[in-house]
Structure 1
Amino acid sequence: MRADLSAPSTGGRTPTVIRLLVLATFVVILNETIMINAIPKLMDSFHIDEQAAQWVSTVFMLTMAAVIPVTGWFLQRVTTRKAYVIAMGVFLAGTAISAAAPTFAVLLLGRVVQAGGTAVMMPLLMTTLMTVVPEEDRGKVMGNVTLAISVAPAMGPVISGLVLQWASWQWLFLLVLPIAGAVTYLGYRKLEDIGEPQAGEIDWASVAFAALGFGSLVYGLSKFTPDNVLNPLLLVVAGIALVAVFALRQVQLQRKGSPLLDLRVLLAGTYTKGLILMSIAFLAMLGSMMLLPLYFQHLRHLSALETGLLVMPGGLAMGLLGPTVGKIFDRFGGRVLVIPGSIGITAALAGFTQISLTMPYWQLLALHILLMVSLAAAFTPVFTLGLGALPPNLYSHGSSMLGTLQQVSAAFGTALVITVMATRTESLKEAGTDAISAQLDGMRLAFGVSALLSVVVIIMAVLLPARTASNGHGHGAPQDLEDEVPAPELVKD
């Protein structure tokens, strides 16, 4: 017998359980970007080259890509409180290992453990939000969530820049450790279980295919350079093949009701359109996040801290606009936000194709703020519309697939812009162009390719509905999709 899935109205307020999860997610996402400026100090401390030092970021991304596909299954098998304690406990262990790392190999191990905990937090937050917040209040609450998850990546490089001015790289972990510990304890004391876990054994073959497939795909994409195409390409092809095997395995397991990642989420048209939009928009965002620091530091000769301060206003604007975007969505629906937002993304990226060595900083700042604000206008409605199109028993799988494709998009966006920029730069240098002009032109072309891809975002935005159609079940999922997979009964508050 199915319990009543309708949630009581929150009056637009963010429930306590969501506030706790947002706080924890803020801490782990902040940590994801806090190592960006630490590469030079790691090179000195461990006597390694830059390529090796970059693994502190690469290994984190690889672990996220490998673990997130498992979270849909995991979140349906444990209580909210247990999932939270396990995720934050793993994150804390990874942070402690990293802080005390005597060798670079141990530091990488710590980053892997950290990423394992981080991978669970975002799907847990989104799944819980969609379960406890009624449809009419989701926009504003999702907007408040956007504030935290948008500000954290923007603050990471700035905080690391400040810390590294005065202290060693170990302090990047030592400062996070007590904060994460306090958040974990607070959540352990205050968090209540939202749903009742389902029984079901894990399919270890699926775990292996997911880890190897998505891991190979992300790693291959992250290693593309003009001088190194064949090996990364082989990794990408192998990754795609393994992901295809993983998908076929999930289709088989769906007949038994226990897939690792339930692909029936793709039967919901609104969710699939939102997934495409989010993936391309995330690709464009990560591409710009890679190119702008290179531009500021290599061509305008700014420090890492000055670069962080220049890009911080865009991230803050994106986050602070989140609650307002949520209110507009609740009142008018998604189209009034997503369509202008998608146009703004393309316009900002097109504007960056005009960068020069003398372009005023205020113009660069304005373009970056336009990009971030436009992404905020798109992300909150698309998250809400996409997940709202699913039945509650597929929320965790929908969140997991979204998180997985974000990692793949991040890797693809980075690989794309770096490869395009480097290829164009080398081509111009061979033709006799000076190095600085060649790199600048390469950056312009990379921004142009990102702008061209972002046109897909506009197309998907036009195809999205203003709201998820209600079917009388408290959400907008297709009735046949809901009936195929029984929803877990929820524990009443």
Structure 2
Amino acid sequence: MNAASPSSGGTAIDLSKIRRGPIVFSLIIGAFVAILNETLLGNALPDLMKEFNVGATTIQWLSTAYMLVIGVLVPITALLQQWFTTRQMFLSAMTLFLVGTAISAFAPEFGVLLAGRVVQAMGTGLMLPVLMNTILVIFPIEKRGAAMGLIGLVIMFAPAIGPTLSGLIIDALDWRWLFYLVLPLAAFSIIFAAVFLRNVTDLTKPKVDIVSILLSTIGFGGIVYGFSKAGESGWSDTEVVWSLAAGGVSLLLFIWRQLVVKEPILDLRAFKYPMFSLVTVLLFVVMMTMFSTMTILPMFLQSALLLTAFKSGLIMLPGSVINGIMAPVSGKLFDKFGPRVLVIPGLALMALSVWMFTGIDTDVSKGYVIFIHIVLLVGISMVMMPAQTTGLNQLPRHLYPHGTAILNTLQQVSGAIGTALFISIMSTGSKNYLAGSEDPDAPAEQVAGLMAGLHDAFWIGFIVALVALVVGLFIRRTKAPEEQETKQVA
């Protein structure tokens, strides 16, 4: 089945003469620059608080707003990709990112810097689904694993080096250099893509449903914001309660509307394909585990082991680099052996590593922490892209934009939920410990309280990882409907 079926009024794209190499390279450059930017500001937040004279709650919006905008924008990309060409989508996304970077670099006050981050996030949110959808379209199913592995290398490696790179820049230069250095990279990506990127998708130009867009924005935005805010203010906070309530109701109405309208902006019929549905659940649980661990571990390194942000970034760097290297290797193995030989052992490694984290204390060696972190990220590299490719492979071509949008949206939502949930568990465990302490204000007791909360969070993380392992046992190799139809005709 082609996305441009006669009933849709689209025009089919001839992919026989497409040069895949330049297209993939164009996409990878843009993705690397945009995704690197997600974690680049982490070590700069204390400097920015002093620069703009704002508190921790305010400065956190530089990260929260970024995640919020992506969470809101990604569901709509399924519609946009049916109205605009690959070139138009990618060049628009990178131009927005470039403009946002320039605004941030020269921001005279905090409000302008936040606006720049929002514009950057708009570019990132538009680009990520285009990246995955293009890979699905231009590569046959037997070669997608390797191609998705290259994308995985970028998605995993870019944010991994962000904290370490930002630590080096902050130590040597002004915080504005975090944006200055990104500007030429973003400009090069635009120029290269303008020369080499070609349109590979079919334009069907479906009806634009404004009501669905509004419901999607309020629904996903409310959920992401509510959970992000809960990690900071607690679950009983009025703003958190109302955000989650508004988001939940709007999301239910959005789902209902997508099932009844003739041309939904996010086609939920993708869930009719069992392996796609299973992978969606699996990735949701895996992303919760990954995001929560990546949030909790730096707190342990900096608050319990008393390391600087830069040193904690260095400790987390080896695992993240190995994770990036493993992504294309996993992709090649996926093409040859299928998902089970990668996903099930990978989930087992994830569960093992989180269990090992439950036993750490303030006497733990840095080498042991690095080892556990490497085990965790090797496991994740064996799961993420193989599972994602397996689920998307089962979809017919006209559902590719919708499938990629669904998975990218749920990754943002699961990240917000996982981070908020595990920080809440950690905070509750710490408070309960200190409530029974004879001297809760003593520095040693504060650290002990932190460790009690961390252990509670990691134990829950271990249970979540076991759930993921059970779900992963049901994963199977899939074939595209078009491939099955071809074999039947033959």
Indicate whether the TM-score tops 0.5. yes
Deviation at 1:227, TM superposition (A): 6.4
Cα 1:394–1:360 change in 2 (3 A) is: same
Does the aligned pair in 2 maintain the 1:424–1:438 contact within 8 Å? yes
1:352 aligns with 2:362: no
| Aligned twin of 1:469 | 479
SS of 1:146's equivalent in the other structure is helix
1:92 aligned residue: 98
Q: Which runs of 5+ in 1 are unaligned?
A: 480-493
Aligned to 1:69: 75
Q: Is the 8 A contact 1:130 1:138 kept in 2?
A: yes
Question: Within the alignment, does 1:385 sit opposite 2:382 as a pair?
Answer: no
Residue number among 374, 377, 380 corresponding to 1:372 in the alignment: 377
The structure 1 segments of at least 4 consecutive aligned residues displaced by more than 6 Å after TM superposition are: 2-10
What is the CA–CA distance in structure 1 between the aligned matches of 2:47 and 2:232, rounded to whole Å? 28
CA distance in 2 between counterparts of 1:91 and 1:475 reads 40
Could you tell me how far apart the structure 1 residues matched to 2:385 and 2:432 are?
A: 41
2:23 to 17, 29, 54: 17
The one-letter amino acid of 2:408's match is G
- 1:82 aligned onto 2:91: no
Q: Distance in 1 between matches of 2:292 and 2:338?
A: 29
1:443 and 2:454 are equivalent in the alignment: yes
Residue 4 of structure 1 and its aligned partner are, at CA, apart by: 8.1
State the Cα distance separating 1:342 from its structure 2 match.
0.7
Cα 1:9/1:442, change in 2 over 3 Å: farther
CA contact (8 A) 1:346 1:454 kept: yes
- The 5-angstrom pairing of residues 58-457 of structure 1 reads 58-224=64-230, 228-230=234-236, 231=238, 232-253=240-261, 255=262, 258-432=263-437, 434-457=445-468
Range moving further from structure 2, 429-438 or 287-296 = 429-438
Deviations 1:43-102 (A, max 9, x none): 101100111111100000110111111001101111111111111111111111111111
Instruction: Give how far 1:447 is off.
Output: 0.9
Tell me if the contact between 1:7 and 1:133 (Cα under 8 Å) persists in the aligned partners: no
- Cα distance in 1, alignment partners of residues 395 and 13 from structure 2: 13
Q: Indicate how the Cα distance of structure 1 residues 177 and 226 shifts in structure 2: closer, same or farther if over 3 A, else same.
A: closer
> How big is each residue's C-alpha offset from its partner over 1:162-195, in whole Å with a ceiling of 9 and x where there is no partner?
1110222211111101111111111111101112
Taking only the aligned residue pairs, the percentage that are identical comes to 36
The offset of 1:6, in angstroms, is: 10
**Would you say the 8 A contact 1:9–1:133 is kept in 2?**
no
Letter in 2 for 1:16: P
Partner residue of 1:486?
none
Give distance in 2, aligned partners of 1:453 and 1:235: 25
Would the alpha carbon gap of residues 164 and 227 (structure 1) be closer, same or farther in structure 2, given more than 3 Å must change?
Answer: closer
Q: 2:52 aligns with which of 34, 46, 56?
A: 46
Query: Matches of 2:290 and 2:484 in 1, distance apart?
Result: 30
Residues 7 and 134 of structure 1 are in contact (CA less than 8 Å); yes or no, is this contact kept in structure 2?
no
In structure 2, what is the Cα distance between the partners aligned to 1:47 and 1:420? 31
**CA distance in 2: counterparts of 1:135 and 1:221, whole angstroms:** 37
How many Å separate the matches in 1 of 2:202 and 2:233? Answer: 52
Judge conservation of contact 2:82–2:203 (CA < 8 Å) in 1.
yes
Distance 2:342 2:295 in 1: 26
| Matched positions, count | 471
- Residue 28 of structure 1 aligns with an amino acid whose one-letter code is A
Structure 2's unaligned 5+ residue stretches are none
Q: CA 1:167–1:458 in structure 2 vs 1: closer, same or farther (change >3 Å)? A: same
In 2, the alpha carbon distance for the partners of 1:49 and 1:102 equals 17
Equivalent residue letter for 1:148: V
3-state DSSP of counterpart to 1:223: helix
TM superposition shift of 1:110: 0.8
Deviation of the 1:302 alpha carbon = 0.8
Distance between the aligned counterparts of 1:220 and 1:59, measured in 2? 12
Deviations 1:101-130 (A, max 9, x none): 111111111111110110011110110000
Residue 15 of structure 1 and its aligned partner are, at CA, apart by 3.1
Alpha-carbon distance, 1:196 to partner: 3.0
Q: How far does residue 469 in structure 1 lie from its aligned partner after superposition? A: 3.4
The one-letter code of the counterpart of 1:321 is M
1:20 deviates by 1.3
Please tell me the residue identity of whatever aligns with 2:255.
A
Counterpart contact for 2:148–2:385, Cα < 8 Å = yes
Match of 1:491 in 2: none
**Structure 2 vs 1, CA of residues 144 and 173 (structure 1 numbering), >3 Å: closer, same or farther?**
same
Instruction: Say whether the 8 Å CA contact 1:144–1:322 is kept in structure 2.
Output: yes
Q: Is the CA contact 1:67–1:119 (under 8 Å) kept in the aligned structure 2?
A: yes
Gap change, CA 1:470 and 1:130, over 3 Å in 2? closer
Give the match's secondary structure for 1:309.
helix
Partners of 1:91 and 1:221 lie apart in 2 by: 26
Q: For residues 469 and 172 of structure 1, do their structure 2 counterparts lie closer, same or farther at Cα, with a shift above 3 Å needed? A: same
- 2:468 and 2:12 map into 1 onto residues whose CA distance is 36
Q: CA deviation at 1:475?
A: 6.8
Q: Partners in 2 of 1:384 and 1:469 — Cα distance?
A: 11
Note closer, same or farther for the CA distance 1:97–1:428 as it changes in structure 2 (3 Å cut): same
In the alignment, which residue of structure 2 is the partner of 1:489? Answer: none
1:272-293: CA deviations, max 9, x gaps?
1111111111110110110111
* AA in 2 matched with 1:65: G
User: What do residues 221-268 of structure 1 show as CA deviations (whole Å, max 9, x unaligned)?
Assistant: 112259632222332122111111111121122x2xx21111111111
Structure 2 CA distance for aligned equivalents of residues 308 and 32 of structure 1: 15
TM-score under structure 2 length normalisation: 0.92
**TM-score using structure 1 length:** 0.92
CA distance in 1, matches of 2:17, 2:241: 50
Matched position secondary structure for 2:473: helix
For 1:225 and 1:81, locate their aligned partners in 2 and report how far apart those are by CA, in whole Å: 38
CA distance in 2 between partners of 1:5 and 1:88 (Å): 24
Q: CA RMSD in A?
A: 2.0
2:469 corresponds to 1:458:
yes
Aligned to 1:484: none
